[in-house]
């Protein structure tokens, strides 16, 4: 394929048109987000203050990293429910390495830095185990991660004896409490990771391979892509991201309850799907995933500001997710 | 013959003999059908008229509008203009599948049988006999047995449908449609996945059913089959009806002209008629290679040579070709590619040894249908497109443009989604993918399966071109015509090479050898 007769079979205009269309689709959630911001400003004058925007973003940072990890796994054509237990047990482990035995710790009283490193490694290890069972043993991803979710939650409750861990030094919470340009560090970190992931998925061969695997694993294999290795790697990376999310969440709350993360996986999937990540695999963008998270974060914030009775928030939240899915279906018939 | 060469849209003017106005009304008559999908015209005032008891062939290149017509004839889509009549009466409204099923049935290339259910459940799916509002299983089994016996289908009613052979599966589908009342059955490329003997049995079966008053519309890319089994033939090209004729009045040459619209050179270069060289370096060397699918196979492929592998569908020819690509494992023996040993089942190693491959199934292994041409074509060389694994988008685009230009892919550009292309063009994209790493050895497995005549010729010409440029080519195919371009053809039978033919072989000898017949 070297001596191209280089006959341009298409005008550059149509390529341009297709690119624009593709980009527009990635930003499909931007208009609804702007609409919601307008609603928010109308509901409460404080909505548009810097402090409130920082609250929204700070509250979304942990979720966004979980959504990123889940999005990668779903694009690969797999499934991972363990992320919600992962965000609980990994920082709990880290915390117990740090805090004294009198506060329910292991009594090792490690400094914070190695403990956080252990947290990240634990997260990656959970992904590694999931990957082993799903990729190597070829077990069904849904059932494997459902079982793992229960096991991990059980371990978390077991080692902490159901107690809330709180006696960590301030530096343990640094990611969520330290601000830079009015925003918590967690927000900057999440943005940085999203930007890197966006570039990686679009321009790196492994990113492209992930899309190919989700689109058609056999064809990817026939093209020389190491399907198993990459899929496994994605599980490990998602576990790693969940551990970071766990650390952020811990800092945001200021403690680790035995139920940290419980129920979050539903929000994670909702944000990913609203953001245009196809549950069939092979399709979806990082920008989409990020806007999905933002949309849900803004909705939650508005509901709080509007002083909707907390008993009703869940029902309204669920309805909004359903509504967004239907709108997404109408605007982009090919998705889902 | 004179009317056969007339191109025109007027069906009446081109009806062949046997359309006696006094006899039964046509089983189906679609006239003046137009259908658009967005900006694409799928059918333009086209039509077909199938006479009672005369098996009718519908042929045309990929994208000629055959599938659209089938979807309209089976009530899956409504035409923009035109009408469909069954036995002289207007067709039911679109969206009423039960009504349509009484008139027409279609056995698709891709099964509509549910593999995890038993035969009896498949036969009576969604219309199970009931007793007191509950499914009456004994009754259902009885009826299923009667139905299968009536049409001589020898399969157990309790068998899981997934365990049936392709042949049995088709018969079950035909029986199911007949039980719904249809006496007109569309067969969409029924022979694509069958080997010689199975095809013969299917044809026998078609004739038996015809004698019982069933009329078939037969869609196939194998023109020989049209002559064997059909009485009438209708040709579509570029969304329009070209000709309808009695098969006997339309010689093969004229039929191909009608399909391609040109007095095209269908004849491929027969390897016997060209210069053959055996001085090229060995690019692939099989030495006593064995696996569950083949035993103790040895042969070489040299630069500037096309080596053919053929055999029945379970002969091991596919696995043998896949071994060198890393798609099929081998357990014993040695496989050398350009002097380096190839590991069993390792695609990346094979790619790094400069092997390119067009795999057996383009939908399963060849393409990611939801992605663009540039993505598919560049997939094997992602690691060569920029530093640290990052991909330079302009290189990807360039790769796609080269493929589009060299292989004459009809597409809007590098960003065209592959799933939206016609079958022939999709296969060209697979070819482009195989060529992207600049292979020294090109492995082609059934490269012309499900591809129209013109694309077929183009693809084989491309292979010949590559041979002239000094590539070694391994072609595994069951299409005798395709194997003409080979310097040498090895015939496999039950996993062993039973015969080797140098170019210039007689078709009957080769076929006899494939079927395991002694000469």
* Mean local confidence (pLDDT), B283-289: 90
- Residues of B within 8 A of A220 (CB-CB) are 368, 379
- Residues of A within 8 A of B401 (CB-CB) are 4, 6, 8-9
Q: Evaluate if residue B18 carries a pLDDT over 60.
A: no
Please state, in angstroms and rounded to a whole number, the distance separating the CA atoms of residues A99 and B506. Answer: 86
- Residues of B within 8 A of A7 (CB-CB) are 405
Tokens 């042969």 map to which residue?
A: B299
Is A19 in the B-facing interface, judged by CB distances under 8 Å?
yes
- Residues of A within 8 A of B412 (CB-CB) are 10, 14, 18
Q: Are B472 and B305 in contact (CB under 8 A)?
A: yes
Task: Output the pLDDT for position A19.
Answer: 55
> Which of B367, B382, B406 is opposite residue A208, by nearest beta carbon?
B382
Task: Output the pLDDT for position A44.
Answer: 83
Nearest-Cα distance to chain A for B80, in Å, is 22
Please state, in angstroms and rounded to a whole number, the distance separating the CA atoms of residues A177 and A36. Answer: 27
- Residues of A within 8 A of B325 (CB-CB) are 222
At B237-273, the pLDDT tens digits run 888 898 899 988 888 778 877 877 654 445 566 777 7
Q: Evaluate if residue B202 carries a pLDDT over 90.
A: no
- Residues of B within 8 A of A197 (CB-CB) are none
- Residues of A within 8 A of B366 (CB-CB) are 219, 222
**How are beta strands B282-290 and B297-302 bridged, if at all?**
antiparallel
> Which of B364, B380, B411 is opposite residue A223, by nearest beta carbon?
B380
Cβ distance A212 to B368 less than 8 Å, yes or no, reads: yes
Is A25 in the B-facing interface, judged by CB distances under 8 Å?
no
Cβ distance B368 to A220 less than 8 Å, yes or no, reads: yes
Tokens 């069904």 map to which residue?
A: A140
B286 backbone dihedrals φ, ψ, rounded to 5°: -90, 125
Is B419 in the A-facing interface, judged by CB distances under 8 Å?
no
- Residues of A within 8 A of B427 (CB-CB) are none
Tokens of A137: 């043993």
Q: Evaluate if residue B4 carries a pLDDT over 50.
A: no
Cβ distance A1 to B364 less than 8 Å, yes or no, reads: no
Task: Output the pLDDT for position B129.
Answer: 83
Is B462 in the A-facing interface, judged by CB distances under 8 Å?
no
What pairs with residue B219 in β-bridges? B58, B188
Nearest-Cα distance to chain A for B437, in Å, is 8
B388 backbone dihedrals φ, ψ, rounded to 5°: 55, 30
Q: Which of residues 263-302 of A touch B (CB under 8 A)?
A: 282-283
Q: Which of residues 361-390 of B touch A (CB under 8 A)?
A: 364-371, 375-376, 379-380, 382-383, 385-386, 389-390
Tokens of B207: 């004739």
**How are beta strands B215-219 and B56-59 bridged, if at all?**
parallel
> Which of A2, A209, A283 is opposite residue B382, by nearest beta carbon?
A209
Residues B209, B212, B218: CA angle, nearest 5 degrees: 40
**Chain-centre distance of CA B212, in angstroms?**
29
Please state, in angstroms and rounded to a whole number, the distance separating the CA atoms of residues A217 and A76. Answer: 9
Nearest-Cα distance to chain A for B105, in Å, is 29
Is B427 in the A-facing interface, judged by CB distances under 8 Å?
no
Residues of chain A with pLDDT under 50: 1-16, 335-336
Cβ distance B415 to A19 less than 8 Å, yes or no, reads: yes
Is B405 in the A-facing interface, judged by CB distances under 8 Å?
yes
Is A7 in the B-facing interface, judged by CB distances under 8 Å?
yes
CB pairs under 8 A between A and B: 116
Tokens 């010949």 map to which residue?
A: B464
Please state, in angstroms and rounded to a whole number, the distance separating the CA atoms of residues A1 and B390. Answer: 22
Q: Are B495 and B314 in contact (CB under 8 A)?
A: no
User: Measuring CA to CA, how many Å separate A73 from each of A79, A121, A274?
Assistant: 6, 19, 16
Please state, in angstroms and rounded to a whole number, the distance separating the CA atoms of residues B57 and B174. Answer: 17
User: Measuring CA to CA, how many Å separate B483 from each of A131, B145, B352?
Assistant: 45, 43, 28
Cβ distance B368 to A204 less than 8 Å, yes or no, reads: no
Tokens 């309850």 map to which residue?
A: A257
Q: Which of residues 192-251 of A touch B (CB under 8 A)?
A: 203-206, 208-209, 211-212, 215-216, 218-226
Is B404 in the A-facing interface, judged by CB distances under 8 Å?
yes
- Residues of B within 8 A of A208 (CB-CB) are 375, 379, 382, 391
Is A307 in the B-facing interface, judged by CB distances under 8 Å?
no
Cβ distance B366 to A10 less than 8 Å, yes or no, reads: no
Task: Output the pLDDT for position A114.
Answer: 92
3-class state of residue A85 by DSSP: helix
- Residues of B within 8 A of A277 (CB-CB) are none
- Torsion on CA atoms A19, A21, A24, A28, rounded to nearest 10: -140
| Residues contacting residue A109 through CB under 8 Å, at least 6 positions apart | A97, A98, A99, A100
What stretch of H or E contains B29?
A: strand B28-37
- Report the percent of chain B where pLDDT is more than 70: 92
Task: Output the pLDDT for position A281.
Answer: 86
Tokens of A241: 């991201």
**Chain-centre distance of CA A80, in angstroms?**
11
User: First CA to last CA across chain A, in angstroms?
Assistant: 37
**How are beta strands B332-337 and B340-341 bridged, if at all?**
antiparallel
At residue B58 the predicted structure's pLDDT band, cuts being 50, 70 and 90, is very high
Nearest-Cα distance to chain A for B378, in Å, is 9
At B451-494, the pLDDT tens digits run 777 788 888 888 888 888 888 999 998 888 888 889 999 998 88
Task: Output the pLDDT for position A17.
Answer: 52
Neighbouring C-beta atoms of residue A111, cutoff 10 Å:
11
| Residues contacting residue A86 through CB under 8 Å, at least 6 positions apart | A123, A126, A152, A239, A242, A243, A246, A261
Nearest-Cα distance to chain B for A79, in Å, is 20
> Which of A1, A224, A282 is opposite residue B347, by nearest beta carbon?
A224
Nearest by Cα to A217 from A272, A277, A273, A282: A282
Is A6 in the B-facing interface, judged by CB distances under 8 Å?
yes
Cβ distance B325 to A216 less than 8 Å, yes or no, reads: no
Is A23 in the B-facing interface, judged by CB distances under 8 Å?
no
Q: Evaluate if residue B16 carries a pLDDT over 70.
A: no
> Which of A7, A223, A225 is opposite residue B433, by nearest beta carbon?
A223
| Nearest residue in chain B measured CA to CA from A335 | B370
User: First CA to last CA across chain B, in angstroms?
Assistant: 38
Nearest-Cα distance to chain A for B426, in Å, is 13
Please state, in angstroms and rounded to a whole number, the distance separating the CA atoms of residues A19 and A33. Answer: 23
Cβ distance B371 to A10 less than 8 Å, yes or no, reads: no
Beta strands in A135-249 (DSSP E): 179-180, 183-184
Nearest-Cα distance to chain B for A116, in Å, is 29
B191 backbone dihedrals φ, ψ, rounded to 5°: -95, 0
Q: Evaluate if residue B12 carries a pLDDT over 70.
A: no
A71 exposed, middle or buried (CB, 10 Å; 0-12, 13-18, 19+)?
Answer: buried
Higher pLDDT, residue B73 or B195: B73
Cβ distance A18 to B412 less than 8 Å, yes or no, reads: yes
A227 backbone dihedrals φ, ψ, rounded to 5°: -60, -50
| Residues contacting residue A164 through CB under 8 Å, at least 6 positions apart | A255, A256, A257, A258
Cβ distance B413 to A18 less than 8 Å, yes or no, reads: yes
Tokens of A285: 């963008």
Q: Are B59 and B223 in contact (CB under 8 A)?
A: yes
Please state, in angstroms and rounded to a whole number, the distance separating the CA atoms of residues B176 and B172. Answer: 6
Cβ distance A224 to B380 less than 8 Å, yes or no, reads: yes
> Which of A5, A11, A212 is opposite residue B379, by nearest beta carbon?
A212
B300 backbone dihedrals φ, ψ, rounded to 5°: -120, 155
- Round the average pLDDT of chain A to a whole number and report it: 85
What stretch of H or E contains B472?
A: strand B472-476
């Amino acid at each position: 394929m070297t001596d191209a007769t280089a006959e341009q079979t298409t005008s550059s205009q149509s390529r341009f048109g297709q690119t624009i269309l593709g980009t527009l689709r990635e930003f499909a959630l931007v208009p609804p987000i702007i609409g919601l911001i307008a609603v928010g400003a109308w509901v409460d004058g404080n909505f548009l203050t810097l402090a409130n925007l920082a609250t929204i973003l700070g509250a979304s940072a942990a979720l966004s990293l979980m959504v990123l990890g889940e999005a990668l796994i779903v694009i690969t054509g797999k499934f991972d429910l363990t992320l919600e237990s992962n965000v609980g047990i990994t920082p709990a482990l880290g915390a117990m390495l740090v805090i004294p035995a009198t506060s329910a710790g292991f009594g090792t009283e490690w400094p914070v830095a190695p403990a956080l490193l252990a947290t990240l490694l634990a997260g990656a290890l959970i992904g590694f185990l999931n990957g082993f069972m799903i990729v190597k043993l070829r077990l069904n991803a849904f059932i494997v991660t459902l079982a793992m979710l229960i096991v991990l939650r059980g371990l978390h409750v077991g080692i902490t004896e159901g107690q809330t861990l709180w006696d960590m030094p301030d530096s343990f919470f640094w990611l969520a409490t330290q601000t830079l340009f009015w925003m918590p560090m967690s927000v900057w970190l999440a943005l940085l990771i999203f930007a890197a992931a966006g570039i990686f998925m679009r321009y790196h061969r492994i990113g492209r391979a992930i899309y190919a695997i989700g689109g058609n694993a056999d064809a990817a294999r026939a093209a020389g892509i190491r399907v198993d290795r990459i899929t496994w790697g994605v599980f490990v990376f998602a576990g790693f991201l969940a551990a970071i999310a766990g650390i952020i969440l811990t800092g945001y709350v200021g403690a680790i309850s035995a139920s940290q993360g419980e129920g979050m996986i539903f929000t994670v999937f909702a944000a990913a799907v609203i953001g245009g990540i196809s549950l069939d695999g092979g399709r979806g963008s990082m920008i989409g995933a990020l806007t999905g998270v933002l949309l849900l974060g803004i909705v939650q914030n508005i509901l709080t500001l509007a002083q909707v009775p907390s008993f009703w928030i869940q029902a309204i939240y669920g309805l909004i997710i359903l509504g967004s899915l239907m709108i997404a279906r109408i605007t982009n018939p090919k998705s889902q | 013959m004179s009317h056969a060469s007339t191109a025109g849209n007027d069906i009446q003017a081109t009806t062949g003999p046997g359309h006696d106005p006094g006899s039964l009304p046509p089983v189906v008559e679609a006239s003046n059908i137009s259908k658009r999908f967005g900006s694409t015209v799928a059918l333009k005032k086209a039509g077909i008229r199938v006479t009672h008891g005369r098996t009718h062939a519908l042929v045309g290149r990929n994208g000629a509008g055959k599938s659209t017509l089938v979807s309209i004839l089976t009530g899956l889509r409504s035409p923009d203009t035109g009408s469909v009549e069954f036995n002289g009466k207007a067709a039911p409204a679109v969206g009423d599948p039960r009504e349509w099923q009484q008139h027409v049935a279609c056995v698709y290339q891709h099964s509509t049988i549910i593999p995890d259910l038993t035969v009896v459940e498949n036969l009576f799916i969604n219309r199970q006999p009931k007793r007191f509002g509950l499914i009456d299983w004994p009754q259902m089994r009885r009826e299923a047995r009667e139905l299968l016996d009536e049409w001589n289908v020898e399969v157990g009613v309790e068998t899981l449908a997934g365990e049936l052979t392709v042949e049995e599966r088709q018969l079950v589908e035909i029986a199911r449609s007949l039980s719904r009342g249809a006496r007109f059955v569309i067969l969409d490329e029924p022979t694509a996945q069958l080997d010689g003997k199975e095809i013969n049995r299917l044809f026998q079966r078609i004739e038996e059913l015809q004698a019982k008053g069933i009329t078939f519309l037969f869609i196939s890319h194998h023109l020989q089959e049209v002559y064997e089994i059909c009485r009438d033939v209708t040709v579509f090209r570029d969304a329009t009806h070209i000709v309808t004729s009695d098969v006997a009045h339309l010689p093969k040459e004229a039929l191909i002209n009608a399909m391609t619209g040109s007095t095209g050179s269908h004849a491929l270069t027969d390897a016997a008629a060209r210069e053959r060289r055996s001085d090229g370096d060995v690019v692939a060397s099989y030495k006593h290679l064995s696996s569950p699918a083949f035993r103790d196979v040895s042969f070489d492929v040299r630069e500037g040579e096309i080596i053919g592998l053929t055999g029945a569908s379970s002969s091991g020819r596919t696995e043998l070709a896949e071994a060198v690509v890393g798609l099929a494992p081998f357990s014993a023996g040695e496989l050398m590619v350009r002097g380096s040993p190839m590991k069993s089942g390792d695609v990346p190693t094979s790619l790094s040894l400069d092997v390119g491959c067009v795999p057996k199934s383009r939908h399963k292994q060849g393409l990611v249908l939801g992605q663009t041409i540039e993505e598919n074509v560049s997939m094997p060389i992602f690691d060569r497109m920029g530093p640290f694994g990052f991909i330079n988008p302009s290189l990807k685009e360039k790769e796609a443009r080269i493929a589009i230009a060299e292989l004459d892919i009809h597409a809007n550009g590098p960003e065209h989604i592959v799933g939206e292309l016609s079958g022939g063009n999709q296969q060209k994209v697979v070819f482009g993918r195989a060529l992207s790493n600049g292979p020294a050895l090109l492995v082609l497995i059934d490269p012309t399966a499900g591809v129209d005549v013109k694309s077929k010729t183009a693809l084989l010409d491309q292979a010949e071109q590559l041979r002239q440029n000094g590539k070694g080519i391994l072609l595994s195919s069951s299409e005798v015509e395709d194997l003409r371009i080979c310097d040498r053809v090895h015939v496999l039978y039950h996993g062993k090479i039973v015969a080797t033919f140098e170019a210039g072989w007689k078709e009957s000898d080769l076929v006899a050898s494939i079927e395991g017949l002694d000469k």
